[in-house]
Every structure is written in C-alpha cells, then in structure tokens.
Amino acid sequence: MNAAHLHLVLQQARRGDRTAFAQLVEQYYPRALRFALQMLRSREDAEEAVQDTFVRVHDHLAGFREDAPFDPWFFRILGNRCRTMLAKRKRHRDFIEYGDVPYDAAASERADVPDDDFAREVHRALDALPPEQREAFLLRHVNEMDYEEMTIVTGAKGSTLRMRVKRAVDALRDTLQAPLRAGVFHE
C-alpha cells in the first residue's frame, strides 16, 4: 500500500467505512504483531496488545490529523500497550516473587523463535536488553523508522533514542560477536 492509497484508506476509515478499516487491519497487523512479539516475547500478550491497539485506533481515528503520518501514531499506541503489558507483567512477577510458582513467560513461547542456533541467540540477546533499548532498537533497525518518527512513538528525545540504540547495538555485539568470530554458528 503506497502513501496515496493509505491516505485514501484512512480517509474512508475515518468516515466509518468498514471495508477500509479491514484493509487497514490487514495491512498493519503483521508488522504490529512482529513488534509486539519482539517486545513481549509472548504470543498471547502480543495478540492481546495488537487487538487492543486496533480497537483504540478504531475509536480515535476520527481525531487523527489527516495530514499527520500514520505509522508513528499507530506505533505510539502499540508501544504504549506493550509498555502497559510489561509493567503489568512486572507487577505480577513482583507479586509472586516469594510464591512457589516460577514465572517465565518467555520460556513457554519458544515456538515463535526459529529453530536455528544463531536466531535463538539473537532472540536471547534481544530479550536481555532493557525494554526501552529493545524498543528503540526494533523501531530503528527492524521497523526502519527515523529518529523523528521514533520521537513521536516513544515521547523520548532524539539524543536519548540515539543513545538507547547505541547501547542496544553494543550489548548485541558483546553477546553475538564472539561466537560469530569463532564461527560457532557456521555449519
């Protein structure tokens, strides 16, 4: 969907056109799910966050400025949903810290990680990043946003975002570079 087509679809969806809204969901669902999965590492949470995001987009589409870029607005809502989920999960983890039920959401979601040593290592390194660094890295290098768009998504300043991306890259390098050089992942 090019920019002109997206503009038209958004205009129609704003007027309540169901087909246009369905087109919007079809277009954005896969990217939204990829981002939420990589942020939350739980398919159930990711699907819930994405569904919630689309409901909010639907409800607030009429207030969306026609000439504003849609992607940052959409990912800002999705980013907020993911952060809310992470905060909820942290509260839950704190609550059962002294309980006898171990909590490891990531452990049960390995089905979404490809069966490949290097891919597993990348996902493990990504999981180990603090959420704000993970988010900045994913927006920049996976969703290929520029820093202005990332500012709209996260509300953080460009310099802060650049630092987060740099720290994420440093951390990934530290984790992945040594085995890469040693050829651990070569067949």
Positions in the binding site for another protein (CB under 8 A): 18, 21-22, 25-26, 29-31, 33-34, 37-38, 47, 50-51, 54-56, 58-60, 65-69, 72, 79-80, 83-84, 112, 114-116, 118-119, 122-123, 126, 138, 141-142, 148, 152, 154-156, 169, 172-173, 176-177, 180, 185-187
Contact 56, 77 (CB under 8 A): yes
Which string of b and e fits 44-66 if b means at least 16 CB within 10 Å? ebbbebbbbbbeebeeebeeeee
Structure tokens at 180: 């890469």
Nearer to another protein among residue 96 and residue 141 (C-beta): 141
Q: In angstroms, rounded to a whole number, what is the distance separating the alpha carbons of residues 73 and 9?
A: 16
Q: Which residue, 100 or 115, is less far from another protein as judged by CB?
A: 115
Give whichever of 95 and 179 is closer to another protein, judged by the CB atom.
179
**Position 169: which residue type?**
V
Between 75 and 100, whose beta carbon lies closer to another protein? 75
Q: Shortest approach of another protein to residue 127 CB, angstroms?
A: 12
What distance in Å separates the CA atoms of residue 32 and residue 49, rounded to the nearest whole number? 9
Q: How many CB atoms lie within 10 A of CB 139?
A: 24
CB of 101 to another protein, least distance (A): 28
* CB 95, min distance to another protein, A: 20
